[in-house]
Amino acid sequence: MRNPQLNRNGELTHLLTLDGLPRDIVTHILDTAETFAPLAEREVKKVPLLRGKSVFNLFFENSTRTRTTFEIAAKRLSADVYNLNINASSTSKGESLLDTISNLSAMQADLFVVRHSASGAPHLIAQHVAPHVHVVNAGDGWHAHPTQGLLDMFTIRHYKHDFTKLTVAIVGDVQHSRVARSDIHALTTLGVPEVRVIGPMTLLPGGLEQMGVRVFHDMREGLRDVDVVIMLRLQNERMRGALLPSPQEYYKQYGLTAEKLALAKPDAIVMHPGPMNRGVEIESSVADGPQAVILNQVTFGIAVRMAVMSIVAGSTND
């Protein structure tokens, strides 16, 4: 069965998930992002690759960081960018998602960047847009956040170079995290020999071992000798029922402190997709410390999103 993200020539025409995306496509995105990263240092930060194209940011969920980096990325590619205030739009008046997309397509949209609380919404849109229109998933439900996964891979490659020699730990609320799922798919695709997931049983989904990861409930044991630590936010807004005794107890067991980080390799890097809850999943001295590359992730995110949009918009969907 053909991957719905790829056209008949094997080119990336939508980015919906990293699950099942071939390694050469993932590497091509990272390599392309590498060429865009130096733009941030230039006086003129624009390239003309998407000149004349219209990019619509459709964020049905709030996100300042992701929406802003997509907007900056599209503008640096010279696209015309439209940010829709969804809460004030027709969807809040009862219009269906696909009717909204049809109306925006009639305004000559070329690319939709979609964030939605419902898993699968970007896939649904991709199935119904015209052949020349492209869809990039900016996060859907608990399912996937592929550009965050890619910028995490870009960050790891920047600091660690060779994925095939790494041990990576993902810590925290994996159950409700689309970032964790995208990171796991990307890390295993890129050949990381050991991916660890660390968290309480109530915050880890079933079937993780089938995804090729090792599961730890003891954080100290899970962090021992790792090269990369990816911390996750507690997603309280997605939790149903009492999954934790208290934030204080969670921090005691699973918060990243300097003492726990010392169990990792001395040159281990600390990552976080943001926003951070200081004192809940990470200690401020670690978040602001020399091993943290959290702000670099945000910076790299612009280059990675430029790469994704330039690649999908340059393909032909047939």
Q: Which residues sit in the known binding site for L-aspartate? A: 93, 178, 233
Find the catalytic residue in 13, 66, 188, 189: 66
The answer to whether 115 is a known catalytic residue is: yes
Find the catalytic residue in 145, 176, 196, 305: 145
Distance CA 308, CA 73 (A): 10
According to DSSP, the β-strands at 194-198 and 213-216 are parallel
Known binding-site residues equal: 65-66, 93, 115, 145, 148, 178, 233, 274-275
Find the catalytic residue in 2, 93, 161, 240: 93
DSSP string, the chain: ---TTB-TTS-B--B--STT--HHHHHHHHHHHHHHGGGGGSSS----TTTT-EEEEEESS--HHHHHHHHHHHHHTT-EEEEE-GGGSGGGGT--HHHHHHHHHTTT--EEEEEESSTTHHHHHHHHS-TT-EEEEEEETTTB-HHHHHHHHHHHHHHH--GGG-EEEEES--TT-HHHHHHHHHHHHTT-SEEEEE--GGGS-TTTGGGTEEEES-HHHHHTT-SEEEE----GGG--S--SS-HHHHHHHH-B-HHHHTTS-TT-EEE--S---BTTTB-HHHHTSTTB-HHHHHHHHHHHHHHHHHHHHTS---
The answer to whether 164 is a known catalytic residue is: no
Known binding-site residues for carbamoyl phosphate equal: 65-66, 115, 145, 148, 274-275
- Which residue bears the tokens 């340059």? 314
The answer to whether 145 is a known catalytic residue is: yes
Find the catalytic residue in 65, 224, 238, 278: 65
The answer to whether 185 is a known catalytic residue is: no
Q: Of how many residues is the chain composed?
A: 318
Find the catalytic residue in 53, 67, 115, 143: 115
At residue 25's C-alpha, the angle toward residues 19 and 29, to 5°, is 105
The answer to whether 128 is a known catalytic residue is: no
Active-site residues: which are they? 65-66, 93, 115, 145
